[in-house]
Amino acid sequence: MRLYPGSNNLNIIYTAFFVGILFTFLTPFVKNFNFYWFLAVFFFVIIYWVGFIIRVNRSFKSFLIDKEKKIYENVVKIIRVIRHDFINHLQIIQSLAELNQQEKINDYLLTVNSETNKMGGILKLAYPELTLFFMDQLAKYKKRGIDFEFNNETNMEKIKDSPDNIVFMLRSICERIESLTKMKNDILASIGWEITVKKNTYRIKIKVLTLHGNSEHFKEELQDLKKDFNLEVYSFREQLEVYLYIVIEL
C-alpha cells in the first residue's frame, strides 16, 4: 500500500503522461513527415513535457503540504489530550490530599504510572510515523472514553517496508473495524495492541472488544481482511472479541 496525491490529481498525471508518450514516439511515423513539421512538433513536445513536470512537481508539493498540516494537527490534538489528563491527575491528587486519603493517593498514582508506561511503550518505537499513529489512537480513544491498551516488547527498528505504508495499513484496519461497529449499532468498548518479535518477524496483535456484538456479522464483513491477516472472532454473551494478527518481516 502506497501513499500518493489525491486520486483526481493522479489520474490527470497518468493521462498527461500517456498522451505525452504518444506524441513523442508516434510523431516520426506520421505521413509526409518533413523537417519543418519535425521542428514544430519537437517544440510542442518539449513545451508539453516541461508543463507535465511542473504539474507533477506542484501536485507533490501540495500533497506534502497537506500531509505536513495533518501531522501538525495530530500533534496538537495529542498535546491537548495529554495536558487535559495531566491537569485532571493533579486535581484528583490534590483533592485526595486535602481529605488525607493517602492510601487512595497511592492507588491512584499506580494508575497514573500504568498510563505513563503505556505511553512510554509507544514512544519507544523507532519510527516517528508509528509513534504518531499510536499516540493519535491513544488520544482519540481516551477522549471517547474507550479503553486503550498498548504492550510493546520491541522498537520495530528493522522493518523492511516503509513506516508510512505500515501506518496506512493499520489505519485502514482501524477505520474498517470502526465502520463495522457503527454499521451494526454496536459499542466499541476497548482496543488493544500488542507488538512482539518471533521468528525474524514483528507480530502485531489487535484485540477489539465490543458490546452487544454479533460475531456472525463481523465474520462475514471481515472476510476480505482474512486474505492478508490471521483473523479470529469470539463471542461471549453480549460481548464480541475480534483478534487480528499482522506479520511484518524484519
Per-residue pLDDT for 71 more than 70? yes
What is the C-alpha separation between 197 and 61, in angstroms, rounded? Answer: 37
Phi and psi at 32, nearest 5°, equal 55, 35
Residue 103: pLDDT band (50, 70, 90) is very high
- Mean pLDDT value across the chain: 80
Residue 161: pLDDT band (50, 70, 90) is confident
Phi and psi at 204, nearest 5°, equal -110, 120
Per-residue pLDDT for 100 more than 50? yes
For the segment 193-207, the average pLDDT, to the nearest whole number, is 88
Alpha-carbon distances of 36 from 39, 43, 47, 50, 93, rounded to whole Å: 5, 11, 17, 21, 86
Cβ proximity of 111 and 53 under 8 Å? no
pLDDT in tens, 14-54: 676 676 666 666 666 655 556 666 666 677 777 877 887 88
Residue % of the chain over a pLDDT of 70: 72
Q: Read off the amino acid at residue 54.
A: I
Per DSSP bridges, beta strands 239-249 and 201-211 are: antiparallel
Cβ proximity of 138 and 191 under 8 Å? no
* pLDDT (0 to 100) of residue 5: 46
Cβ proximity of 79 and 135 under 8 Å? no
Paired strand residues for 19 = none
Residue 235: pLDDT band (50, 70, 90) is low
194 CB burial (10 A radius; 0-12, 13-18, 19+): middle
Instruction: Indicate left, alpha or beta for 37 from its phi (over 0: left) and psi (-120 to 50: alpha).
Output: alpha
What is the H or E stretch that residue 244 is in? Answer: strand 239-249
Looking at per-residue confidence, does 232 or 193 come out higher? 193
What is the H or E stretch that residue 197 is in? Answer: strand 187-198
For the segment 221-241, the average pLDDT, to the nearest whole number, is 68
Residue 181 C-alpha cell reads as: 461497529
Looking at per-residue confidence, does 42 or 219 come out higher? 42
The reported pTM is 0.72
Residue 4: pLDDT band (50, 70, 90) is very low
Q: Which of 209, 192, 200, 183 is nearest to 245 (CA)?
A: 192
Strand arrangement of the beta sheet that strand 201-211 belongs to: 147-152, 187-198, 201-211, 239-249, 230-236
Q: Give exposure, 204-220, as e/b (b: 16+ Cβ within 10 Å).
A: bbbebbbeebebeebee
